[in-house]
Structure 1
Amino acid sequence: MREDNHEKRMFYKFIFLLVVTGLIVIVCIWKWTADDPKEQDPEEMFGKTEQQEDIKEPTGLDEAKINDVLIDEEDKNSEAQETNTNDASQQNEQTENNQEEADLEQTYINQYGKQEVGQAKEQVEKVLALYLLQVTDWDKWEGAVTANYLENVQKEMTNFKDEKAKRELDTIDLFVSQPLKDGEIMYGAYATWHVTVKGKSTSKPMQLYYITLQKEGDKWIVSNMVTPNNQNMEGEGKE
């Protein structure tokens, strides 16, 4: 009787294990069939991983743009440095020119005296103004220029004077220049003026002149006046 009970218990355990195993198998099959096959595809999952990595790449630093920025900064620094160098060079050159002018003017003063140098400078301004304004009242020229130079100016005024145009002098900036001969004084002058016709401004010329003076009696008078381009005294002018 005890043996029969033992066999029944073993039989029930066996049945129980079969049932449990069957349930596990059924659950696994159901789980497998219920899930999205696409999510279980290893190749697709691998492809998604690569795509995500590709998307992340652009978020990194763009080396080309960085290089462009660095090059631009280098160019700007180079241009700034070049500008500073040019400014310093121009400033040094201007300082040297000013010093040369001061030394040359002092040489004139040492040779001829301060009063005579001042009178020569006034003569330069007067003659240049008479010329630029095309003054044909020749009495105003006498005592300011040599006879030979006055004759040349009279011929030139006759050839180039425009009765319809009116001139007004703007500025005359003088600077001392090295004379071509001993016993002479030379000044350079930047002159600007404007020309009007019937009340309307037509041009605003600007010209550089070199004026030579020689002493006649107790005064310095203008003996010659030229432009660097060796053209007539009208110069080229600027509109």
Structure 2
Amino acid sequence: MVNLCLDDYEAVIFDLDGSLVDSMWMWEAIDQEYLTGFGITPPKTLQQDIGGRSFIETAQYFKERFGIKDSIEKIGDDWNKMAWDKYTNEVPLKDGAFSFIKACIAKGLKLGIASSNSTELIEQVLGSHNIKDMFGSIKSGTEVLKGKPAPDVYLEVSNELSVAPEKCLVFEDLVDGIKAGKSAGMTVIAVSDDYSRHSDDAKKDLSDYYIEDYNDIVLE
């Protein structure tokens, strides 16, 4: 359990996949389906190799590593099409996330999204849960060229929210994302996710707090 005083912060910034929504299982399936379509067997380390990269960086990685002849734009478009239905109908919020978001709003905190995903899919999944309008800033991997662990996406969100980094609380599920939040000068809570369970020790060491889900947060 984590005792948390929201009065210490002015903004809460969420990573999306694996942190706010339970979607990491889906991306592994899409990557496998996508590469199989080219007759390529995905390497077992693929998910670890691309963890934290922005949407554009991941597309570039696929193009270069696997010799995909399609343009970066087409690769991204294909992924968006494959993910659209799943984000609309199959991806839930993390346990306790909605109640925590409501508590933040009740305290007057500003909310933001700092994700490596595409803008289209971020807005689609937030819209499917009727929470898109709750976020004052949404930055994606298609808008910020340097992906995590670079702090850029978090600093972009805090700047748009007009909140100093030291007054921002971040929720992240991956090691590179935690490093990005800490490099931005923010307080970081690591979120458990089955996809990144292998790196739990590192996540706990790098972050300020660790939770299994948002029900672990006790508001003071």
Q: Normalized against structure 2, the TM-score is what?
A: 0.23
Larger Rg: 1
Larger strand share, 1 or 2: 1
Q: Normalization by structure 1: what TM-score? A: 0.22
Which structure carries more relative contact order (alpha carbon 8 Å, separation 6+)? 2
